[in-house]
A and B are shown apart, each in its own frame.
Chain A
Amino acid sequence: MSWCWFAALTRPLAREELVDASACVQATDQDGRPAGLLAAWPRGRRPLREAVRMDERLLDPGGPPAWVSLVLVPREVAPLFDDPAVSQAMRRVLAGPPFAAVSTLVRDAVHFAGAVTVGEGDQPGQLADDPFARLHPARILRVGPGLFGRLPPPAGPAIQRYSGKPWPAAGFDTG
């Protein structure tokens, strides 16, 4: 199990910045207003300075439109990944009703950069209870098709990262 790069972009982009992206979709907020782009790239060199690591199993080129809770913690206030509050959020994910998919986001070796939580169904209501939104305010977004798929709930009770991968990606391989 491995990871990919992910970014939520609201700034104007140069065409070449997305040339290697494996997926790129428009996002809107709950009122239908444009909320930028969500994009993903294969693992390798960081494609953009905003990019963070995400469990690549969330990516699905055939995935339907989805409601997403996006928590992106600014670098200057990012807690350690080992912070008890981050651990407790992962425990709540394991214990609670399952979402369609969840991945934490990793910016560097030690800090929690946020999480992507994909909701079940066609309504965003379930995402109001995103456990990671207790760590930093979440943006509820509607994203177009071709980015997120379903990922079965993480196997428990493990909540630790493997070699710095974003949870729940597992395995100590370096891929």
Chain B
Amino acid sequence: MADRFGPGGRFPDLELPDHSGNCRRLSELAAGDPLLLHFYRGFWCPKEQAFFRRLVQLQDEAEVAYTRFVSVSVDPPQVAAAFRAGLGARWTFLSDTDRQYQAELGLWETTDTVHRAYRPASFLLGPGLDVRQTWNGYWFWGRPTNEELRQSFRTVTMAIRPDWEVPAR
């Protein structure tokens, strides 16, 4: 796991093209909300397809919970756009086709010499891109379940929303 970016650290403010080719910054996409940042191998990986199906289910809750998702791979924008559309995902996919951040993040999957893909990993970030929780998804069971993500989003939201306890009149 990328220990430099473990809980308590701050995640780099990545700047990458999205699935439409627009240059985006991670902090702009988070926009002050809790963010699930997810690195995946590519559209071709069955484990990723299974995990994305899980996230697509969760997005129906996240869309009303002031919560963001961002998924990152080395797939080019057109491939990410087609994969996203096929999944029915409604969040932003970023493309690091140049592997610009792979080494810095320590997320190069060295066991795959064909795709030079990102090693699967998930990060739950607070509004300042502060790392709250991480999951190593190299083995599928290392990835967060939707219930674990709900619990983590609850913990972060409780910490960052000053009106979690409804203000008394």
Q: Write the residues of chain A forming the contact surface with B, with a CB cutoff of 8 angstroms.
A: 1, 91, 94-95, 97-98, 152-153, 155-160, 162, 170-172
Q: Given A91-B63, A160-B66: A155 and B31 within 8 A (CB)?
A: yes
Chain B nearest Cβ from A99, distance in angstroms: 10
Which residue of chain A lies nearest to B20 when distances are taken between CB atoms in the complex?
A: A98
Q: Could you say which residues of chain A place their CB within 8 Å of the CB of B29?
A: 155
Most central of A95, A97, A158, A170 by chain B CB within 10 Å:
A158
Q: Do A152 and B18 touch across chains, with their CB atoms under 8 A apart?
A: yes
Known pairs A95-B88, A95-B90, A152-B24; A170 contacts B69 (CB<8 A): no
- Closest-by-CB residue of B relative to A159 is B63
Once the chains are docked, how many angstroms separate the CA of A157 from the CA of B64?
A: 8
- Bound-state Cα–Cα, A153 to B161, Å: 25
> Are the CB atoms of A170 and B32 closer together than 8 Å?
yes
Which of B66, B67, B90 has the most CB atoms of chain A within a 10 A radius of its CB?
Answer: B90
Q: Is chain A's binding surface mostly helix, strand, loop or mixed?
A: loop
B70 contacts A155, C-beta separation under 8 Å = yes
Q: Are B64 and A159 in contact (CB under 8 A)?
A: yes
| Complex interface: chain A residues within 8 A of B18 (CB) | 152-153
Q: With the chains together, A162 CA to B161 CA distance in Å?
A: 13
Contacts of A157 in B (CB 8 A): 59-60, 62-63, 67-69, 89-91
CA of A99 to CA of B85, assembled, Å: 15
Residue in B30, B59, B66, B85 whose CB lies within 8 Å of A156: B59
Closest to B64 in A: A160
Interface string of B58-78 (1 = CB under 8 A from A): 011011111111100000000
B12-46, CB < 8 A from A:
18, 20, 22, 24, 28-33
Contacts of B70 in A (CB 8 A): 155
